[in-house]
Structure 1
């Protein structure tokens, strides 16, 4: 009986000794794991150990300054392959003027792949911007461009581009092309053709009025005189200003402004 009691006492004393030892070992192991994790994180973040060596572009790229963009990415997102946040790079790339959309992905061990869809300029807008084919303005630069020039109040970009596209399609049969289109604050249309003729279309039924010009243009050419402008802001008929005649009077312009 005394032997069994002595054994139980010895086991309890052993448990009391092993508990602190086990706890100490656990704390040491946990500390080693945390320390190893910190070292691993620092190693992964170290650009010198795992740098982004290649930035690979894809897509039809004509206007984007690829070298400038790559330099910007490396300046603003310096770090290792693991440290770079593709969402941040995506925002940076899509902020570039000639980028319509982009997709970014990493490829192990050291490459960043960037697919770019460029803006497609359809017209100049108010002398300082461009319009893409969706009627969205962007701050792109073009030299010696043959794009038409559109003017209009802020917020009318899509309206102006849609009007231009409809007029261009209608004029195609007559061989005339639009050089400049102005949409006034009152949303009245004025079109300057590449031939030098100015068309005053007013606000209402501008497509029908343009068709009226197309219908009568062969007769106007028979006059063998240069046309300065054609005022179509009438319910029926039109007024023609010849290049060697006096320009339209201000009073006549004011009378037709609301048409």
Structure 2
């Protein structure tokens, strides 16, 4: 009898285990499904711009040529989504792709803000009419970028920019050479009160400079700083002539040639030593 009772008990336990296994598995599957569903709904909620929108984009840095409102509109149009959904790297690439942005750093601030610090390009000269140069001799398409900013302030700044900045011209790849030459000449002319309006570097790397007083200086390729110093030394004597000067050719070993306005060129001493360099 004891053995029969033990067998019956074991059989009953086995039957109960057979019943509970599918039930437990079913419950387990349901729990996992609910967790996955809950995670999905949470993800949807976090991605929903209506639930967690980026309420403010804060710009820092000295901005004079970039319109924060225009840049914010550009960011929102290109990167829609919630605070969690916005990709900081994509925003960073977008901001730094703008011509007037030299560099940018971006960070999120909980719960709904985006902070963007911008180092703006500083234009020091126009380059070949359609580009600008920064202080490192790097060209950027600043004029076209200003035209994209459709507010009146930017248009006014563009007009002022064309008036204030000297114009540099040269072959492609000579930006840094042209800017370095311009900076050296500007420093040398500063003491005499002269300013450069236009500088041209030819394909053969010969220098031509037009001053704000209308005088054109032909400096050639060699020793252009030495030749410019010769002009500075002689200019007070030329002013005593009380005649308007059209150009001064300094491509001589020691002398120079003066082209007076509405007159034939008059050569100074040693004009026979012209090297045309």
Q: Same fold (TM over 0.5)?
A: yes
User: Scaled by the length of structure 2, what TM-score is found?
Assistant: 0.85
In structure 1, the gaps of 5 or more residues are: none
Choose the corresponding residue for 1:139, options 141, 144, 168.
141
| 1:6, distance to aligned residue in structure 2 (A) | 4.6
| 1:5, distance to aligned residue in structure 2 (A) | 4.8
Choose the corresponding residue for 2:84, options 76, 82, 85.
82
| 1:244, distance to aligned residue in structure 2 (A) | 3.3
* Equivalent residues of 2:192, 2:232 under 8 A apart: yes
Secondary structure in 1 matching 2:142: coil
Q: What is residue 178 of structure 1 aligned with on the other side?
A: 196
Q: What is residue 234 of structure 2 aligned with on the other side?
A: 216
Q: What is residue 24 of structure 2 aligned with on the other side?
A: 22
Choose the corresponding residue for 1:158, options 166, 176, 179.
176
Q: What is residue 166 of structure 2 aligned with on the other side?
A: 148
CA distance in 2, matches of 1:185, 1:21: 87
Choose the corresponding residue for 1:195, options 180, 205, 213.
213
- What RMSD in Å do the two structures reach over aligned CA positions? 2.0
Aligned residues: 253
User: Scaled by the length of structure 1, what TM-score is found?
Assistant: 0.90
Q: What is residue 206 of structure 1 aligned with on the other side?
A: 224
Q: What is residue 168 of structure 1 aligned with on the other side?
A: 186
Determine whether 1:93 maps to 2:111. Answer: no
Q: What is residue 245 of structure 2 aligned with on the other side?
A: 227
* Equivalent residues of 2:197, 2:210 under 8 A apart: yes
Secondary structure in 1 matching 2:209: strand
| 1:175, distance to aligned residue in structure 2 (A) | 1.2
Q: What is residue 255 of structure 2 aligned with on the other side?
A: 237
Moved more, 176-185 or 23-32: 23-32
